[in-house]
Structure 1
Amino acid sequence: MTETIIRTVRPHATGSTGDSYDNIEPWFEKLSALAADDRHRREVRDTIIELCLPLAEHIARRFTGRGEAFDDLHQIARLGLVQAVDRFDITRGSSFLAFAVPTIMGEIRRHFRDRTWSVRVPRRAKEVQQLLGPATEVLSQRLGRIPNARELAAELDIELSEVTRALIARNAYKTDTLDAVGDPDDNTGLPVMDRLGAEEPCYRLLEDSMAVRPLLAALPEVDRQVLVWRFFENRTQSYIGERLGVSQMQVSRLLVRILSGLRERAVGEPALRRAA
């Protein structure tokens, strides 16, 4: 989701040039050159915040439909933007956008986290989940990109499986009944169920890929190729068997072994193996 926002966000503030916030760094250079007691420092800081306000609105809209009013999310996103502006270090060489997006998203997620959890989540998963936001901010600044699950685990000095559980736990936020009437501002007056569009699983693909990417990278080359053929190229087991010189039944068992191993390493629990 974070990388999607970075790719799609468009500035609307006066003075923006181009289709990204890459031109915002010169403002931070100007800000860092001013002394703390310089009367112009606040003016430059306020200008940066004003230029980036559309970013906060864009991210806030990404979190609508989860039981919280847009105005509340918008205010929280603006707070996250201010924090990002005050924490950003231009000397590290990374872009402000790569730092600001996870910072703002982390503030919104912290708002959801501090409210009620709609599904029972283990205490340890909640504790780790609270650490992910700050760790993501630090690594984003250091790496100049969004960190993956393995890098987060190394930064926090915890097991990869704990990071994976915490990422999954993020889905257990406050829920609303599908019979609830929508926001009066949308002029529909219809229950949520009647306003639902097509399912968009791609919104959580980034978090899923963060958890799975290092596990796939650790697989033997043949196992990775089998997964590519089966799930990315939609090849049949018979086709894969022909390429490997084995039977379709052997391919089926191979897939069970690979997927079971991935599950065990992802969640730290033995997968249920099907009988051959």
Structure 2
Amino acid sequence: MTAPTAFDTAAVPTRCNSPEDRNRRDAATRELLAARASSTDDAERQDLLDEAVRLNLEMARGIAKRFRGRGAESEDLEQVAFLGLMKAATNYRPDEGVPFIGYAVPTIRGEVKRYFRDCIWTVRIPRTLQDLQTRMAAALPLLAQELGREPSLEEVAVRLNTSPALVRRAEAAYGCFNVASLDRPINDNGLVLGDCVADHQDPSLDRFEAVDMLAPVLDDLSPRDRRLLELRFIENLKQADIGTELGISQMQVSRLLHKIFQRLRTRLDPSAAMI
């Protein structure tokens, strides 16, 4: 079955390369899930849920890619990420006014991390940290939806009535996964796995995570503030040139950029505002 004709999503982008594309996808997703929340017809509710999930499959697939090379098959990671997406779409509350991506990303990541924890441990961590990871996996999606962003380490610790140090240790322990031998042959020419391991981290992975975190925050900025950041970091203009472009002084540009940075830091990590 397909989604009701009242919700034509054929033109909604699923591969988003710009804030505009993400906004369109997020708006369509929220519209679908809001209609699902108000519907009493089971078949219609399922159709709406399926279509909301379909729109965001590429987002889930992108998150799964970030966890490759840690001892799990790529296909398995994608299936787990899709499961996390389904959970996010099922439990999302449109009336909270939170962007869907702000709720879905931590939910999907939590599902993938839970998969590593439960299914492919090599090094066993203390039971207290395993229990804390379980509690974190359950609390993070709810806390993210309440805040409209990913919670800081301190906020997670407060919610779970524990210390930030323990939360940090539990997060770090997500790296104790199965590993493949670097001496494992990968072809008939004597090439082993170790020969193919990059000696540096792929910068595109950090860029993907940065886009996920910053996109909803940047979308909340005013057009003038977004234009300021575009001139500074995309067009690489100096502050004096930005002032000329916008008809303000260099000092005003400096002050505005400082305020924007402070606002972004506060949204991404409230504790950073205290530093």
Tell me how large the CA RMSD over aligned residues is: 2.7
Q: Secondary structure of the equivalent of 2:180?
A: coil
Matching residue of 2:35: 30
Measure how far apart 1:72 and its partner are.
0.9
Render the CA deviation track for 1:154-173: whole Å, top value 9, x for unaligned: 10011222112111211222
Structure 2 length as normaliser, TM-score? Answer: 0.62
Establish whether residue 50 from structure 1 lines up as the match of residue 46 from structure 2. Answer: no
Render the CA deviation track for 1:63-90: whole Å, top value 9, x for unaligned: 1111111111111111111111100001
Matching residue of 1:41: 45
Establish whether residue 152 from structure 1 lines up as the match of residue 153 from structure 2. Answer: no
**Is the 8 Å Cα contact of residues 115 and 174 (structure 1) preserved in structure 2?**
no
Q: Could you tell me which amino acid in structure 1 is paired with residue 136 of structure 2?
A: L
Structure 1 length as normaliser, TM-score? Answer: 0.62
Matching residue of 1:74: 78
Partner Cα separation in structure 1 for residue 190 and residue 50 of structure 2: 38
Measure how far apart 1:51 and its partner are.
1.0
Measure how far apart 1:145 and its partner are.
0.3
CA distance change for structure 1 residues 189 and 31 in 2, over 3 Å: closer, same or farther?
Answer: farther
Matching residue of 1:138: 142
Paired residues for 1:68-147 under 5 Å: 68-147=72-151
Paired residues for 1:224-239 under 5 Å: none
Q: Which moved more, 1:22-31 or 1:76-85?
A: 22-31
Matching residue of 1:191: 192
Q: Secondary structure of the equivalent of 2:83?
A: helix
**Is the 8 Å Cα contact of residues 116 and 174 (structure 2) preserved in structure 1?**
no
Partner Cα separation in structure 2 for residue 193 and residue 172 of structure 1: 19
CA distance change for structure 1 residues 72 and 94 in 2, over 3 Å: closer, same or farther?
Answer: same
CA distance change for structure 1 residues 116 and 41 in 2, over 3 Å: closer, same or farther?
Answer: closer
Partner Cα separation in structure 1 for residue 26 and residue 110 of structure 2: 21
Q: Could you tell me which amino acid in structure 2 is paired with residue 31 of structure 1?
A: R
Q: Secondary structure of the equivalent of 2:106?
A: helix
Matching residue of 1:236: none
Q: Could you tell me which amino acid in structure 2 is paired with residue 194 of structure 1?
A: D
**Is the 8 Å Cα contact of residues 84 and 104 (structure 1) preserved in structure 2?**
yes
Measure how far apart 1:201 and its partner are.
8.6
Q: Which has the larger radius of gyration?
A: 1
**Is the 8 Å Cα contact of residues 14 and 51 (structure 1) preserved in structure 2?**
no
Percent of aligned positions with the same letter in both sequences?
33
Measure how far apart 1:190 and its partner are.
5.1
Structure 1 spans left out of the alignment, 5+ residues:
1-12, 207-276
